[in-house]
Amino acid sequence: MWNWEKGVKGEFIISIEDAKPVIFIVSDSIGETAELVARAAAIQFNHGGVEIRRLSYVNNPNEIPEIMEEASSFNCVIAYTLVIPELKSVLVREAAKYGIPTVDVLTPMLEAVSQLVNRDPKLEPGLVRKMDSEYYRKVEAIEFAVKYDDGKDPRGILKADLVIIGISRTSKTPLCMYLANKQIKSANMPLVPEVSPPDELFRLPKHKLIGLTIRPQQLHEIRRERLNTLGLTSDADYASMKRILKELEYAENFMKKVGCPIIDVTNKAVEETASRVLEIYLRGERHVK
């Protein structure tokens, strides 16, 4: 006997005694798409007498005859999202044997989009869920980058896929946000001569810690512009060449001490820096595995 899920929760064994009209959902993936469409249709008949039951991950055509035989015990219709042609063909054939109406939820839209983009569909089950999974991993990485930006919480260092270090205005935050869109959880930590860096930095594998540096003259211009944007005088110590040289020397010595790769971001777009960072990270991950 097949177990049909009522929505997301609860399971039902098909029973001849159950005469309530039923929309059965058959899918080679989760079946959420067909269920949403079925519910949208059923709500238009708001007497509440239509039940929706779902069978997910039907990937073997040999399963379908048994499913249809048991469904025939009901006053029902079959709504399906099957992207594999063989499965659709078997379902339609077997349903016809019992006079069960079927509704192909996905194919009309697939055909319309195929004509629109002048391409054949991949016909791969579960792509929506795969895309959703990638989307949520990206969101999680973005939230991580915000939470552990600019050394707000050193505990993020050991949780991160990557940690970016460097002095102020070396594009650490934009780099981490770019990496987050690649589903990489990145934290960044500013290096300041007067502040001891957290011990966690010494515990990271070398490919997970990346140092950023920049030429003094470009940093001088960037910091002066930053001060002007904030409405401050550009002759503050923060933008002085003496201070910049001191910070760069300190950062370089620290990066050499921990033995991390160092990337010069002078005149580089964040995409270019990110490409180099990912190369180092992925190569290190392959080596570890």
Last residue of a domain, one of 125, 142, 177: 125
Residue 115 has pLDDT above 90, yes or no: no
Report the pLDDT value the prediction gives residue 114, as an integer from 0 to 100: 79
- State the average pLDDT over residues 68-94: 92
Domain at 62, CATH number: 3.40.50
Report the pLDDT value the prediction gives residue 165, as an integer from 0 to 100: 98
Give the total number of structural domains in the chain. Answer: 2
Q: Are 66 and 42 in contact (CB under 8 A)?
A: no
Domain containing 25 equals: 3-125
Last residue of a domain, one of 95, 125, 155: 125
pTM: 0.59
Q: What angle do CA 115, 116, 121 make, to 5 degrees?
A: 60
Answer yes or no: do 161 and 115 share one domain.
no
Residue 28 has pLDDT above 60, yes or no: yes
Average pLDDT value over all residues in the chain: 87
Residue 13 has pLDDT above 50, yes or no: no
Cite the DSSP H helix spans in the chain. Answer: 32-42, 64-71, 85-97, 107-117, 127-147, 172-180, 216-229, 241-258, 270-288
Most confident of 6-20, 93-107, 113-127: 93-107
Strand order in the sheet with 51-55: 11-13, 3-5, 51-55, 22-27, 76-81, 102-104
Report the pLDDT value the prediction gives residue 19, as an integer from 0 to 100: 64
pLDDT classification of 12: cutoffs 50, 70, 90:
very low
Report the pLDDT value the prediction gives residue 225, as an integer from 0 to 100: 92
Answer yes or no: do 138 and 76 share one domain.
no
What does the H/E/C string look like for 178-244?
HHHCCCCCEEEEECCCCCCCCHHHHHCCHHHEEEEECCHHHHHHHHHHHHHHCCCCCCCHHHCHHHH
Q: Are 62 and 47 in contact (CB under 8 A)?
A: no
